[in-house]
Amino acid sequence: MSNIFSVFSGTGSYIPKVVVKNEDFLKHTFYDSDGERIKHSKDEYTADEGWKKKGEPKSTKQVIDKFEETTRGKERRYVTDDLVTSDIGFFAAKDALISSGIDKESLDYIIFAHNFGDVRADNKRSDFVPTLAARVKHMLEIHNPKTIAYDLPFGCPGWLQGVIQADYYIKSGDAKRIMVVGAETLSRVYDPFDMDCMLYADGAGATILEAMISDFPVGILAHAARSDTIEHAHMLWMDKSYNPDYKGDEIFLKMYGNKLYKYALRTVPLVVKESLDKAGLTLDEVDKVLIHQANAKMDDAILERLFHLYGKKADEIPERMMPLTIPWLGNSSVATIPTLLDMIMKKELTKYSLKTGDIVVFASVGAGMNINSVVYRMP
């Protein structure tokens, strides 16, 4: 018996032009949450424990070197001052339409995942009206009033949650073609005096999901998600600068990095396994894991914990199972996974490829705290 499945028919992305290397942060002075300049001794910082104690003040270079050792991040991309999030979302959306070859007027939905709206370089306030999805639809010059455009704020897992929503629309018969965009300009919302600012980047990715009739399961096979808000709602939040002498009145993105790390290691593998169980698959059948590019060390540890759930050791992880772009693209929140997918589909990551029949697991974790996972079979 034939069934309806949701498959990716097009992908697109926009990688900003401004390259910011780690050494560009040498001019920064970093402060802790108590408003004191970061002080530490060698090897006192770990990704799972954070800054455990204070020692003598060390140079900014030592902070940067420890950051690179911990996260493997060497550089990141920022947008130019003339662009905002909806602009780069539009670039990615146009790219996805070109790769899919579909008529833009045939789209039933445009779902735009982001967290901060449009934040201009000269006025760092979130602008949400009209929605970024409506702005993209306008820029694409789509006239169809039945192309419903709306935004989805869900932390870093926003794009993947948009994919899950699109799958529901398609399988219910409500839609045949849906665009899901994930874009963010974190360079506009970070605190330059908080060392976490080195993680953040800008970027945009977009995908087209289409209905496919098939006798054999393809496309999205299953998904799982969770939201933990009792103890974990405020692990990411907005607050004033850590620098007590900073004169601006902006609020910036803040994060309990070590707590988030522990939470992710404890829960993300469980959600991935839940999605695989729903799909009736085991880890041995998975070819690729495309995970949110938050922190390379954390992503590695999550994959190791996932293998542990199946009674496997870290040295059993297949080579090139989990591609990483954070070393040169940084953490662009909702944009990391669709950008990664687009680069693989367009053969821009030469060591990685996807072919018909491959099982791909998508997974993300972020503010909320929210986690989701999708199991996908390449058509």
Structure tokens of 60?
């900014």
Number of Cβ within a 10 Å radius of residue 265 = 17
Q: Check if the beta carbon of residue 11 is closer than 8 Å to that of residue 159.
A: no
Query: Distance between terminal CA atoms of the chain?
Result: 17
Half-sphere exposure of 75 (CA within 13 A, CB side): 11
Rounded distance between C-alpha atoms, residue 253 and residue 212, angstroms:
40
Tens digit of pLDDT at every position of the chain (379 positions):
579 999 999 999 999 999 999 989 888 888 888 898 876 444 344 444 454 444 444 566 777 887 888 788 899 999 999 999 999 999 999 999 999 999 999 999 999 999 999 999 999 999 999 999 999 999 999 999 999 999 999 999 999 999 999 999 999 999 999 999 999 999 999 999 998 999 999 999 999 999 999 999 999 999 999 999 999 999 999 999 999 999 988 999 999 988 999 999 999 999 999 999 999 999 999 999 999 999 999 999 999 999 999 999 999 999 899 999 999 999 999 999 999 999 999 999 989 999 999 999 999 999 999 999 999 999 9
Peptide bond into 130 cis (omega under 30): yes
The 3-state secondary structure of the chain, one letter per residue: CCEEEEEEEEEEEECCCEEEEHHHHHHCCCECCCCCECCCCCCCEECCCEECCCCCCCCHHHHHHHHHHHHCCCEEEECCCCCCHHHHHHHHHHHHHHHHCCCHHHCCEEEEECCCCEEECCEEEEECCCCHHHHHHHHCCCCCCCCEEEEECCCCCHHHHHHHHHHHHHHCCCCCEEEEEEEEEHHHCECCCCHHHHHECEEEEEEEEEEEEECCCCEEEEEEEEECCCCCCCCEEEECCCCCCCCCCCCEEEECHHHHHHHHHHHHHHHHHHHHHHHCCCHHHCCEEEECCCCHHHHHHHHHHHHHHCCCCHHHCCCCCCCCCHHHHCECHHHHHHHHHHHHHCCCCCCCCCCCCCEEEEEEEECCCEEEEEEEECC
CATH code of the region 219-377 = 3.40.47.10
pLDDT in tens, 241-283: 999 999 988 999 999 988 999 999 999 999 999 999 999 999 9
Domain extent listing, the chain:
3-19+78-214, 219-377
Name the β-bridge partners of 13.
205
- Which class does domain 3-19+78-214 fall in? alpha beta
Are both 3-19+78-214 and 219-377 of the same fold? yes
Q: Check if the beta carbon of residue 107 is closer than 8 Å to that of residue 147.
A: yes
Residue type, 307: F
pTM: 0.92
Q: For residue 276, give the nearest of 286, 262, 268, 288 by alpha carbon.
A: 286
